[in-house]
C-alpha cells in the first residue's frame, strides 16, 4: 500500500449515488467498512506515514508535553461543594491518569465556608467514592458518563464507557458499606437521576442511530427486566434527557430537536407518577423550565423564544402553565441573548450574553415577588463566567467560575447581600506564571456582506505587531455554540514561543445572539466559512501575522469549517489542523441510517427531500469540493470508535486530497484506534495528544526549532 518515502494510496472503487437527478461518483466509500481488514490496514498505514513525516518533531512534542506537565499541579483538588451533610470534591494525584471522587462530613451545619484541604496530605475523614484509575485498569479507554449521589447520601449511581462509543454501563454502589449492588444497567446514555427518596433511578437509552429516545425508571433492588419506559420519543429529530430541579420538587424530562423543545415533569416524591407536559411542542419554539417558590406558591420559570428571538423569561403557576397565565420577568432584548435561568430558594441567577461576552445577573426573590436584576461586574476586556457547583436549594452564596485568556480558571463565591466576590480557588500554574506577561485584545473583521465579525486575540507581551508573528486561528461556528475566552496551560507553550492565538467568532455560533446562529446555518451556512476567511485576512491587515505564518484549527463541526476554508482560500493559511472533522457532510446528512443524521437536519437542512438544500450542501461540503489546486499542509486527527463524526469522513477526505491535489505528502491522517469523539482518555495521554498537535502547528508556522 505504501513505500517508505511515499504516502499511502487508497484503492479506488467507484460507487455511484444519485439524488435530485445528480449523480456523484465516490471512490473511497469502501473505507466505511470498519471491520474490513483492508480498512484497518489503510488506517494503520496512514498512522505509520504520519509518524514518519513528523518524527522530526519528536523532541518538540516531548518538550511541550513536559511544559504542560511541569506547569500543572498534578496533585490537586477541587473546591469542596456542600450537599446535605457532606462536602464533595475531586482529587488528582501525580502519576495517575484519572481523578478520585471523594467526600467528607460537614463539621458544622451552619458553616458554608469550604474546608481548606491539602491535596498532598491525607484528608481527615475522607471517603473515596470512586477511583477512576481503578475503574480504568485493564482498559485502553475510560470515560465517566454519570456520577450521581442520592439525596440521603447513601447510594452512588455511576456510568462507565471503556470503548469510546458512548454506550455506558450504570452501576450502583452502597456508600455505607462500599459494596456494589446487583443493579447493573448496560447500554445506557449519559446521566442518571435519583428520585427524592433514592428508591428509583431514571436513565436514558439510545436507538440504532445513537439518539437518546427513551427515559427509563429502575427500582433499586429489582431486576432490570422490570425497568419501565417512562417516555419514548418516536420522532427521529428529538433527543430526550432527564434531570431534576435544584429544589428537588420535580423530576424533569426534556425533549428537544435543534429548534423545538418540550418538557415533562414528575413529582420527585412520587417517582411512579405519569409525567405531565408543561407546554406542548410547537415547531420552532424552544423553552426551558425551572422551579421557584414565591410567597409559598410553586411557580415555573420558563425561558422561551416564542416571538422573542433572543428569548425572554416568564413565570407562571406550576399547575397553570398556559401562556395566558405568564408574567414577564425579563422581556426580549435584541442586544441581549438570554441563555439560562438558575433558580434557588431566594434568588434567580440569569446567564446571558451581550457584546459577545457571557454575563451573570441576580434577581432576588422576597415577600411579594422579584427584585430588579443586578449584574455581577468583571473588569477584563475579554472573559467568560458561569454558575457551577451549586447543588443546594438554600445556600447563602452563589458559586461561579470565571476565566479569560490570561486569568486561570477561578472559583468565586458571590454573596448577593454584599455584592462581594470571595476567591475560593484559582487554577494553579506552576513555574512562575504571571498574567501581566500576556495581553488580550478584541479585533473586528468585515465579512463579505458587511457584518462585523468579532475576533479574540491573546499574545505574550513583546510579540511583534509587524506581520512577522506566527498565529493559530481557531473557529467552530455551529449549533449556536460559542467559543468563549478561556485559559489554557497548553496554550502557554505557543505564546511563550512567540506564536499568537486568536478565535474567530463566526456566524453559526451564538456569540452575538440568536441571529448570529440563524445566519450561519441551513442556507446561510456559507457565512461561517467566509467569516473565518475574513478574520484571517483581518489578522494580517492588522499586522498581527502574515498568511504564510497563520495556521487554522477547528474540531468536529469546526472541522467542516477547516475543510471548507481550505477549499475556498488555501492561500490564506500556512497549515490546517483539524480534529475529528465533519468533512464529508453531504454523504452523512443524506443517510438517515447513520448516527444522529435525522437530528442534524434542523441544523444543515434535509438534502434528501429538498433539492435546494442538496445543491447548497454539495457546493460547500469539503469532500465534494476538493480540486486540483495547491493546498496548505493538513493534519487531520480522528478516532476509530467515534459515533458522532465517523472516522471514515477524514479518511475519505485525505484519500481524495492525495489523489487530486498538489503537495500530497503534506496531507496527514492520524487515527486513534481505541478512542471516541473526545479523543484519547486520561490526562497524560490528552496532554501528549495536544503536544502533538501544537508541535505540528509550530512547525508549519516556522517555529519548530524553538
The grid cell for 379 is 473588569
C-beta separation of 504 from 474 below 8 A = yes
What are residue 563's phi and psi, to 5 degrees?
Answer: -65, -40
Arithmetic mean of pLDDT, 28-48? 96
C-beta separation of 93 from 121 below 8 A = no
- List 456, 556, 588, 681, catalytic entry: 556
How many C-beta neighbours within 10 Å does residue 200 have? 21
Arithmetic mean of pLDDT, 252-259? 96
Please name which of 166, 210, 179, 175 lies closest in space to residue 194, comparing C-alpha atoms.
175
Query: Taking all residues of the chain, what is their mean pLDDT, rounded to a whole number?
Result: 95
Does 678 score more than 90 pLDDT?
Answer: no
Question: What is the model's pLDDT at position 596?
Answer: 77
- The pLDDT confidence band at residue 642, using thresholds 50, 70 and 90, is confident
pLDDT tens profile 643-675: 778 999 999 999 999 999 866 779 999 999 875
Question: What is the model's pLDDT at position 1?
Answer: 41
- Strands in 371-512 per DSSP E: 374-375, 384-387, 398-403, 410-415, 420-426, 438-446, 452-460, 471-474, 500-504
Arithmetic mean of pLDDT, 34-50? 96
C-beta separation of 573 from 547 below 8 A = yes
Q: Which residue has the higher pLDDT, 336 or 595?
A: 336
Give SS3 for 226. helix
Residues above pLDDT 70, as percent of the chain: 98
Question: What is the model's pLDDT at position 679?
Answer: 60
- Cα separations in angstroms, 593 against 259, 472, 598: 21, 37, 8
pLDDT tens profile 530-589: 999 999 999 999 999 999 999 999 999 999 999 999 999 999 999 999 999 999 999 999
C-beta separation of 339 from 517 below 8 A = no
Q: HEC string of 418-433?
A: CCEEEEEEECCECCCC
pLDDT tens profile 298-320: 999 999 999 999 999 999 999 99
How many C-beta neighbours within 10 Å does residue 104 have? 17
- List 621, 642, 681, 699, catalytic entry: 642
Question: What is the model's pLDDT at position 663?
Answer: 62
- The pLDDT confidence band at residue 677, using thresholds 50, 70 and 90, is low
The CATH classification number of 41-70+432-700 equals 3.40.50.1820
Question: What is the model's pLDDT at position 675?
Answer: 59
pLDDT tens profile 575-586: 999 999 999 999
- List 213, 621, 677, 699, catalytic entry: 677
pLDDT tens profile 73-87: 999 999 999 999 999
677 is catalytic: yes
Question: What is the model's pLDDT at position 664?
Answer: 72
- The pLDDT confidence band at residue 3, using thresholds 50, 70 and 90, is very low
Question: What is the model's pLDDT at position 661?
Answer: 82
Arithmetic mean of pLDDT, 285-297? 96
Q: CB under 8 Å to 59, separation ≥6 — which residues?
A: none
Whole-angstrom distance, CA of residue 400 vs CA of residue 377:
12
Rg, C-alpha atoms of the chain:
26
- The pLDDT confidence band at residue 676, using thresholds 50, 70 and 90, is low
340 is catalytic: no
Q: CB under 8 Å to 344, separation ≥6 — which residues?
A: 246, 390, 393, 394, 395, 398
456 is catalytic: no
pLDDT tens profile 119-132: 888 889 999 999 99
The full set of domain ranges for the chain reads 41-70+432-700, 290-428
Whole-angstrom distance, CA of residue 700 vs CA of residue 290:
49
Q: CB under 8 Å to 66, separation ≥6 — which residues?
A: none
Question: What is the model's pLDDT at position 2?
Answer: 41
Written out in words, the top-level CATH class of the domain with range 290-428 is mainly beta
**Structure pTM?**
0.93
Cβ contacts of 4-12, under 8 Å, gap ≥ 24: 4/52, 6/665, 7/49, 7/658, 7/664, 7/665, 7/667, 8/42, 8/45, 8/46, 8/49, 8/658, 9/658, 9/659, 10/42, 10/651, 10/655, 10/658, 10/659, 11/38, 12/659
Amino acid at each position: 500500500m505504501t513505500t517508505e518515502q511515499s504516502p499511502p494510496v487508497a484503492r479506488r472503487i467507484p460507487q455511484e449515488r444519485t439524488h435530485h437527478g445528480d449523480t456523484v461518483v465516490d471512490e473511497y466509500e469502501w473505507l466505511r467498512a470498519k471491520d474490513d481488514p483492508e480498512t484497518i490496514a489503510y488506517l494503520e498505514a496512514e498512522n505509520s506515514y504520519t509518524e514518519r513525516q513528523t518524527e522530526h518533531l519528536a523532541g518538540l512534542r516531548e518538550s511541550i508535553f513536559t511544559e504542560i506537565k511541569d506547569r500543572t499541579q498534578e496533585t490537586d483538588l477541587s473546591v469542596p461543594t456542600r450537599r446535605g451533610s457532606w462536602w464533595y470534591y475531586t482529587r488528582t494525584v501525580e502519576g495517575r491518569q484519572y481523578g478520585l471522587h471523594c467526600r467528607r462530613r460537614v463539621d458544622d451545619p451552619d458553616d458554608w465556608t469550604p474546608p481548606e484541604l491539602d491535596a498532598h496530605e491525607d484528608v481527615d475523614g475522607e471517603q473515596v467514592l470512586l477511583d477512576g484509575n481503578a475503574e480504568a485498569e485493564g482498559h485502553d479507554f475510560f470515560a465517566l458518563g454519570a456520577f450521581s449521589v442520592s439525596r440521603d447520601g447513601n447510594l452512588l449511581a455511576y456510568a462507565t464507557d471503556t470503548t469510546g462509543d458512548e454506550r455506558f454501563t450504570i452501576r450502583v454502589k452502597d456508600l455505607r458499606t462500599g459494596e456494589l449492588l446487583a443493579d447493573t444497567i448496560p447500554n445506557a446514555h449519559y446521566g442518571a437521576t435519583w428520585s427524592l427518596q433514592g428508591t428509583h433511578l431514571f436513565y436514558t437509552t439510545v436507538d440504532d442511530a445513537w439518539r437518546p429516545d427513551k427515559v427509563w425508571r429502575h427500582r433499586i433492588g429489582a431486576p432490570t427486566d422490570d425497568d419501565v419506559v417512562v417516555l419514548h420519543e418516536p420522532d427521529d429529530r428529538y433527543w430526550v434527557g432527564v434531570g431534576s430541579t435544584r429544589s428537588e420538587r420535580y423530576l424533569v424530562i426534556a425533549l428537544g430537536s435543534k429548534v423545538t423543545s418540550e418538557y415533562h415533569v414528575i413529582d420527585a416524591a412520587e417517582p411512579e407518577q405519569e409525567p405531565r407536559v408543561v407546554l406542548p411542542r410547537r415547531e420552532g419554539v424552544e423553552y426551558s423550565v425551572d422551579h421557584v417558590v414565591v410567597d409559598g406558591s410553586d411557580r415555573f420559570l420558563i425561558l422561551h423564544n416564542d416571538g422573542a428571538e433572543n428569548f425572554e423569561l416568564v413565570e407562571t403557576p406550576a399547575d397553570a402553565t398556559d401562556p395566558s397565565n405568564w408574567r414577564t420577568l425579563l422581556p426580549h432584548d435584541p442586544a441581549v441573548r438570554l441563555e439560562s435561568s438558575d433558580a434557588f430558594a431566594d434568588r434567580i441567577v440569569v446567564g446571558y450574553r451581550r457584546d459577545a461576552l457571557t454575563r451573570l445577573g441576580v434577581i432576588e426573590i422576597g415577600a411579594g415577588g422579584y427584585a430588579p436584576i443586578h449584574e455581577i461586574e468583571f473588569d477584563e476586556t475579554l472573559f467568560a463566567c458561569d454558575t457551577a457547583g451549586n447543588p443546594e436549594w438554600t445556600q447563602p452564596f452563589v458559586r461561579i467560575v470565571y476565566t479569560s485568556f490570561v486569568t486561570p480558571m477561578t472559583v468565586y463565591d458571590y454573596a448577593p447581600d454584599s455584592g462581594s466576590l470571595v476567591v475560593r480557588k484559582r487554577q494553579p500554574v506552576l513555574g512562575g506564571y504571571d498574567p501581566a506577561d500576556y495581553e488580550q485584545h478584541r479585533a473586528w473583521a468585515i465579512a463579505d456582506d458587511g457584518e462585523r465579525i468579532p475576533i479574540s486575540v491573546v499574545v505574550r507581551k513583546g510579540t511583534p505587531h509587524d506581520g512577522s508573528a506566527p498565529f493559530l486561528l481557531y473557529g467552530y461556528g455551529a449549533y449556536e455554540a460559542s467559543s468563549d475566552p478561556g485559559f489554557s496551560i497548553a496554550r502557554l507553550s505557543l505564546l511563550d514561543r512567540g506564536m499568537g492565538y486568536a478565535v474567530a467568532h463566526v456566524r453559526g455560533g451564538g456569540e452575538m445572539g440568536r441571529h448570529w446562529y440563524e445566519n450561519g446555518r441551513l442556507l446561510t451556512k456559507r457565512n461561517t466559512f467566509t467569516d473565518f476567511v475574513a478574520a484571517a485576512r483581518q489578522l494580517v491587515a492588522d499586522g498581527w501575522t502574515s498568511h504564510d505564518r497563520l495556521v487554522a484549527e477547528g474540531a468536529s463541526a469546526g472541522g467542516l469549517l477547516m475543510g471548507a476554508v481550505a477549499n475556498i482560500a488555501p492561500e490564506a493559511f500556512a497549515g490546517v489542523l483539524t480534529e475529528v472533522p465533519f468533512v464529508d457532510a453531504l454523504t452523512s446528512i443524506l443517510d438517515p441510517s447513520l448516527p444522529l443524521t435525522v437530528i442534524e437536519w434542523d441544523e444543515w437542512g434535509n438534502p434528501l427531500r429538498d433539492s435546494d438544500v442538496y445543491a447548497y450542501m454539495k457546493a460547500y461540503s469539503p469532500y465534494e469540493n476538493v480540486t486540483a489546486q495547491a493546498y496548505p499542509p493538513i493534519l487531520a486527527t480522528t478516532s476509530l470508535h467515534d459515533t458522532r463524526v465517523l472516522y471514515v469522513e477524514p479518511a475519505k477526505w485525505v484519500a481524495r486530497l492525495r489523489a487530486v491535489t498538489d503537495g500530497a505528502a503534506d496531507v496527514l491522517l492520524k487515527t486513534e484506534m481505541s478512542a471516541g469523539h473526545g479523543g484519547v482518555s486520561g490526562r497524560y495521554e490528552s496532554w501528549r495528544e495536544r503536544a502533538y498537535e501544537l508541535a505540528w502547528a509550530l512547525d508549519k508556522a516556522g517555529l519548530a526549532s524553538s
